Copies of this chain bind each other. A is one copy, B any other.
Amino acid sequence: MKYSFRNDYNQVGHPRIIQTLLDHANCVNVGYGEDIVTKELENMVSNLVDGDVKIYLLVGGTLANKLVLSKILAPYEAVIACETGHINVHETGAVEQTGHKILTVKKENGKLSSKDIHEVMNIHNEVHRVLPRVVYISNSTEVGTIYKKEELMDLYHTCKQYGLYLFLDGARLPIALTSSANDLNLKDIYNYTDVFYISGTKNGMPLGEMVVVKNELINSNFLYHLKNQGGMVSKTFTLSYMFKEYLKDDFYLELARNANKMAEYLKEELIKLNVNIKYLNDTNQIFVELNNDIIDTLSKEYDFEVWESNSNSTVIRLVTCFNTTLDGCNMLIEDLKKLLN
């Protein structure tokens, strides 16, 4: 089997998470998230953010995105997002399927700023154009960058000024929060958004996403909406057992920290080899440009995604994750060293 740098969702999951499911195999709970385990998890999250949240557990980031957005938006309302946003590019029109336009902003760094919001709002001021109501951001972003605390606060305050909701896609939130460049914590995420989600899938859980809602209007009848959209998990408690273990003693941050550490190590070593790193960022996605024949050889031993194909060179993406090992990284570096000589 090839060593995988393909993605952060190619492993079944961390054994500790699955073990907790096995430990509770015969436990009996009421369905649909009205059980005590889910309530305990909700309290856990409220404590973590020092607030009062409602949580909704479901399976799939695309489902989380379309559910949250369609909960907020009236038929004629729209969401503002970066052109690179996952909802805009890689969800096969899932948001539009709920009836809503995505207003996109072209940003190299994958991050929205207050200035972007002002510009969109200035244009959208008449009944023949959609009415923006939500701002969608990802952290870390689709290009691996992260929001700084000041940026998030600024964006949130601008949203409030326009009556916009701020929704943070947390498919890689644990990665963002454990990046060496990060200055945000979970409490900040809670304070400076209206709703966000934390992915389990991309950080060591077999599956599962947790939507965290602060805003009362979004919470209102959310369970009806969850069921109506097909997102309600009858045995929600199976996800709750796993998420409790995931959050316990910041295990989810520990898992993400490994991904970031391994990425940093790889970047350092790649720089030593004078390899061209593109879209340099502070998280677990490394974009490396190499000659095509080197890529050919590497691909026999390692699994990764091809990002851009050119006539002579190719940009590949190396993703580290919760169970990437130093040995794995060193193996790659050693093999690369030989190929580059």
Contacts and interface: CB of A to CB of B under 8 A. Distances in A.
Contacts of A100: 93, 96-97
A22 B15 contact: yes
A10 interface: yes
Identify which of A1, A93, A96, A130 gathers the most chain B CB atoms within 10 Å of its CB: A93
A223 B62 CA distance: 14
Interface in A148-172: none
Given A12-B237, A28-B303, A228 B97 contact: yes
Given A90-B129, A206-B21, A229 B228 contact: no
Interface stretch (A46-54, A73-81, A179-187, A247-255): A73-81
Contacts of A63: 230-231
Task: Bin chain A's interface residue count.
Answer: 35 or more
A25 B13 contact: yes
A315 interface: no
B30 A25 contact: no
A323 B27 CA distance: 11
A177 interface: no
A244 B27 CA distance: 23
Within the oligomer, what is the number of copies of this chain?
4
A193 interface: no
Contact of A22 (B19, B31, B224): B19
A320 interface: no
A92 interface: yes
A230 B12 contact: no
Given A10-B31, A12-B24, A96 B99 contact: yes
23 contacts: A9-B235, A10-B29, A10-B30, A11-B25, A11-B26, A11-B28, A12-B26, A12-B235, A13-B238, A21-B21, A32-B128, A62-B232, A67-B230, A74-B224, A76-B221, A92-B129, A92-B228, A94-B228, A97-B228, A97-B229, A130-B224, A206-B235, A207-B234
Given A18-B25, A91-B228, A92-B130, 20 more contacts: A1-B28, A12-B235, A21-B21, A21-B206, A59-B60, A59-B233, A63-B230, A63-B231, A76-B93, A76-B228, A89-B129, A92-B129, A92-B227, A96-B130, A130-B228, A201-B234, A206-B235, A207-B234, A207-B235, A207-B238
